[in-house]
Amino acid sequence: MQKKYIIHQDNLNIDLLGYYGYSDSQLTYAKKSDDVLNEVRDYVSKNERIDTNEIMKRMFPIDDPHIFISHKSEHASDAIRLANVLYDKFNIISFIDSQVWHHIDEVSNIINNKISKIRESGETITYSHKSTSIVASNMFAMLSSSLFEVMDCSDGFIYIDSNKNNQIDEIDKGNVKSLKTQSPWIFLEMTYASKLRKKMHKRPSMRLAEDAMLKGRVGIESLSTRQKIEFDYSKEIIESVTISSIKNAISLPKNNSHPLYNLDNIYRVLDS
């Protein structure tokens, strides 16, 4: 991650007023929620030993996204619409946290029905408390580490703040413990974001990269087969930048150039 921005949800909602043609319920470039859960069910049903790494692979279909978008659950629609705009106009792939952590309860139920169920009588199901506790702790640990890894491998980070007191959630080491949020996942993400050192996707030769990108624009089938991203590292801690609007950035002309070229243009607008 090399860039970190915070925008208030009210401002983002206004910025997106002209983009109602873009879905706010489903990422156009990612698997549908039902498909993800069906893949998990299929894996669990066919294996006696459950490898949580295999579960995470199915829950995290996007490797090395360009942007990591963090938000509180009630504002998922704005995050999804923003991600779809960035993809359609600039080929930028965003990872939205809620598209993963909202699966956690259902995935845990799928696993518990396989390994923790003691008996079932009518509509009553009895589970082993010890076994369900082990499943929950393992899922939390694996999801936490996977979120950190995806965030670390993203080029940029956008946090959609929705505090009602007009006080933005500044993300730094000094105040991360006092940030106002009811979501443990958002708390973890803000904690991680305050500690990550600067790391950016290595910019390729844009002319060569455009040829490769135009041959196969990232789609549902190719998310896991893309060429792995290389990184440039720095020991610098990334400071968050609070922005009042993203409108000028997403209003840039549609461009089918390499997504990192487009992303750098967006950074320049947001930093200006």
Answer yes or no: is pLDDT of 169 > 50: no
Pairing between strand 94-96 and 241-243?
Answer: unpaired
Torsion angles phi and psi, residue 48, rounded to 5: -75, -35
In percent, how much of the chain has pLDDT > 70? 74
Q: 192 Cβ partners below 8 Å, 6+ apart? A: 147, 148, 151, 152
| Residue the block writes with tokens 């873009």 | 22
Q: 49-92 pLDDT, tens per residue?
A: 888 888 888 887 666 789 999 887 778 899 999 999 999 999 99
Work out the end-to-end distance of the chain between its first and last CA atoms, rounded to an integer number of angstroms: 19
Average pLDDT over residues 246-263: 93
Record the tokens describing residue 195, joined without a space.
């500690």
> Please, are residues 3 and 156 in contact by the beta-carbon 8 Å criterion?
yes
User: How many Cβ atoms are within 10 Å of 125's Cβ, its own excluded?
Assistant: 13
Answer yes or no: is pLDDT of 179 > 60: no
Q: 2-45 pLDDT, tens per residue?
A: 898 999 999 999 999 999 999 999 999 888 888 889 999 999 99
| Residue 133 vs residue 204, higher pLDDT | 133
> Please, are residues 29 and 219 in contact by the beta-carbon 8 Å criterion?
yes
This prediction has a pTM of 0.78
